[in-house]
Chain A
Amino acid sequence: KAGVTQTPRYLIKTRGQQVTLSCSPISGHRSVSWYQQTPGQGLQFLFEYFSETQRNKGNFPGRFSGRQFSNSRSEMNVSTLELGDSALYLCASSLAGWQETQYFGPGTRLLVL
């Protein structure tokens, strides 16, 4: 069974631009979570989607948004990029959500200049 895939793997943007990252979960998984990972803050929860509905959201500004499609694929968008948004963005999928193992994708490394 194929694992979680994320595209693109690397991205360089400039301040003020916006970016869209994509995540395809493991086949049959309906829950997708997004995380931001930085050296100083570790893994920070962004949001979680299940059946196209956002069920939980972390403490990030409104510039960070996401959505999930009917095939469980998910996208996250960051508008008006700031230097501090440079990070590894990871998505993780699970069958249905809490108490279940999450499987992580390889991540998208975003550099904002």
Chain B
Amino acid sequence: QKEVEQNSGPLSVPEGAIASLNCTYSDRGSQSFFWYRQYSGKSPELIMSIYSNGDKEDGRFTAQLNKASQYVSLLIRDSQPSDSATYLCAAVGPGTYKYIFGTGTRLKVLA
């Protein structure tokens, strides 16, 4: 069973701090990775996608991918209370058209 694993949390960080969310995946053939944010009672919305090893930055968000170690991370700088949500990591294998999601990490940003 191909899996994506995340710590369920909650991860609590103070406002203004850096939140670090991690995800590991078991299918070494996975090539595409996505971070989604899901507020309670809402559907997931895309934050970032990453396909190559290294860092990808978008505003306060940085995604990091290390295919050798099979992990993906998401850093949120200057965390705000509005960032409090569940963050879902997803991996897609080559040609499978099947997105495997982790169970999500709940982030709480404390004002």
With contacts A104-B43, A105-B43 taken as known, whether A98 is within 8 angstroms of B92 at the C-beta atoms is yes
Main secondary structure of the interface of A (DSSP, over half): strand
Proximity string of chain B (75-103) to chain A, C-beta cutoff 8 Å, 1 when within and 0 when not: 00000000000001010111111111111
Q: Which of B46, B97, B103 contacts A48 (CB 8 A)?
A: B97
Return chain A residues, CB-CB under 8 Å to B45.
104
Query: With the chains together, A105 CA to B44 CA distance in Å?
Result: 8
Query: With the chains together, A104 CA to B94 CA distance in Å?
Result: 21
Taking residues whose C-beta sits less than 8 angstroms from the other chain, chain A's interface range is 20 to 34
Inter-subunit contact A55/B104 (CB<8 Å):
no
| Residues of chain A in range 69-113 having any CB-CB distance to chain B below 8 Å | 90, 92, 97-107
With contacts A103-B46, A104-B45, A106-B43 taken as known, whether A42 is within 8 angstroms of B101 at the C-beta atoms is yes
Interface residue tally for chain B (C-beta within 8 Å):
26
Proximity string of chain B (36-67) to chain A, C-beta cutoff 8 Å, 1 when within and 0 when not: 10000011111001010000000000000000
A64 within 8 A of B: no
B22 within 8 A of A: no
Query: With the chains together, A8 CA to B56 CA distance in Å?
Result: 37
Return chain B residues, CB-CB under 8 Å to A50.
97
Inter-subunit contact A99/B32 (CB<8 Å):
yes
A31 within 8 A of B: yes
Chain A residues engaging chain B, CB cutoff 8 angstroms: 31, 33, 35, 41-45, 48, 50, 55-56, 58, 90, 92, 97-107
Q: Please give me the 3 A-B residue pairs with the lowest Cβ-Cβ distance, nearest first.
A: A42-B103, A43-B101, A104-B43
A-B CB contact pairs (8 Å), 20 listed: A33-B99, A42-B88, A42-B101, A42-B102, A43-B44, A43-B88, A43-B90, A45-B100, A48-B98, A50-B97, A56-B96, A98-B98, A99-B51, A99-B92, A100-B32, A101-B34, A104-B36, A104-B43, A104-B44, A106-B43
